[in-house]
Structure 1
Amino acid sequence: MPLAFLMSEVWTMDRAFKVLVTVLLNLLTHWEVEGRENLPPGGPLLLVFNHLAWWDAPLAIAALPYQATGIALKDLQRVPVTGQLLGLTSVIWVDRGRYDREALRQALAVLKEGGVLAIAPEGRMSVTDSLERGKPGSVFIARKADVPILPIGLIGTDKVSGEWRSFRRPHLKVVIGKVFRLPEGRKYASRKEERQADADFIMERLAELLPPEYRGVYADSVE
């Protein structure tokens, strides 16, 4: 294969990774996508998703037509395989437990330039296999950038390892919700309270896309 082709925009590292994970998903799982009609043609766009397992990112990459930039903890760079695979994608590395001004600048720049940014509002992989409380800091970008938000519900990724140990192909599902924006005009006692309300609003939109067993602390928010 000519080097010029490999270096062209047609065959970027992101595209190569998308092809790779799609092939692996087709071979190792049964997966489906619901709600493609809700997909906007492009950015600026903020993708938000529930975070259950390592397979969340590959599944979203395979299912969505965007070359999105993700946000990941710098700690993951040292994790064998995971760090190397994330390095093949467009990712912004952030420090755990502190305000990372440079990461925020990069994230806002992606959206300002009309790109697609993906975040997990829970701020980490769930330890309950269901929705945890959204983190105020993780959704600061949503309010600051003021761009459309696309909720993505991921189902079944928490069961991948168990199914493989039983020599079964797991069933995975991606549910694409409708684009929304954060509400305006609400009054709060503090900025922190406002950001938590924003986080809860986003998480409730995710809960609407998930079956009851995945809704966690937001189970009562879905009618």
Structure 2
Amino acid sequence: MSERQWLREYDPRSYPPFAVTVDLAVFTLRGDDLCVLLVRRGEYPHRGRWALPGGHVLHGRESADDAAHRELLEETGVDAWRSNAHLQQLAAYSAPDRDPRMAAGLQVVSIAYVALAPGLPDAVAGTDAADARWTPVGAVPALAFDHDRILADAVERVRAKLEYTTSALHFVTAPFSLTELRRVYEAVWGRSVEPANFRRKVLATPGFVSPVDRAATAPGRRGGRPPELYGPGGAATVDPPIRRPM
């Protein structure tokens, strides 16, 4: 049998219904807190409960990555293709009991993503949500579906990547001071970081940060020493790693 013959005879109704969704763990810093975007579901299932934002992958029209970018733009107004936002696939979640619709025979698999961006605006509920808010990761209520697990995995991913990558730079806008950068680590890790040791490690890592002309960033400033400011240095990894305080 040729492939063309096989396609003519292929009957998708022979297989159980299947849906793919994307869920987004969107993080930003608000004050001294690492916050995640939550939405209150306006539709069933789990109507009225808080959840991570997300939605279905449009069948035959987009990839999971495209759906994640679309959902991030719809939920936050952030275009990850054209901004300092960072969007990365986290994991796939497919437990048989993860979605109530599975009881009706629909297999629902979610591909979760982590998004990082600096200074995101106040949350605004989308068309299918009753409410939206930024919530400190330490004050998140019980979430719908398996979003508690997804969020826990996402938080640990973000915390771990700060040790060996320059992902902290996605939480700040250049130019920034090393104090601002250190506060990112403290907010994400929930631990104090010793300033002098942090400064030494950052400046000793080739390509982590790049000095910015202080005079150019403070035109018209008179008297006093302008602050030392930096921008991204182009490196993606930190070697040796900056270890989390225990």
- With the shorter chain as reference, the TM-score category is under 0.3
Give TM-score scaled by structure 2 length. 0.24
Bigger CA radius of gyration = 2
Instruction: Name the structure with the higher helix share.
Output: 1
Normalising by structure 1, report the TM-score.
0.26
